[in-house]
Amino acid sequence: MALEVMAPEMLRRIQAGIDALREDNREIKTRLGRLQTAIADLQVQGAGHSVRMDRMNWRLERVEKRLDLADA
C-alpha cells in the first residue's frame, strides 16, 4: 500500500487517540475538582469541630473552677 493511501488513515487513528486522551483529561479534571471541593469541605468541618471543642473545653474549665476541681 502506498504511503499516500496509508497516511490519511494513520492520521485519523492518531486524531482518534488524541480525542480519547482529551476526553480522559476532561474527566480527570472534573474528578479532581470534585476531590478538591470535598477536601475543602472537610477542612471547614474540621475547623468547626475545633471551635466547638475549644468552647467545650472552656465550659468544662468553668465547671471545674466552680466545683473547686481545677488544679491549682
Which range (16-20, 37-41, 45-49, 65-69) has the least confidence? 65-69
Please list the alpha-helical segments (H only) found in 1-72: 3-66
Percent of the chain with pLDDT over 90: 85
In the chain, where are the structural domains located?
Answer: 43-72
| CA atoms of 53 and 42, how far apart (whole Å) | 16
Q: Are 19 and 11 in contact (CB under 8 A)?
A: no
Q: Which three cell numbers mark 59?
A: 465550659
| CA atoms of 62 and 12, how far apart (whole Å) | 75
Question: What sign results for the dihedral spanned by CA atoms 30, 33, 37, 43?
Answer: positive
For residue 1, the model assigns a pLDDT of: 63
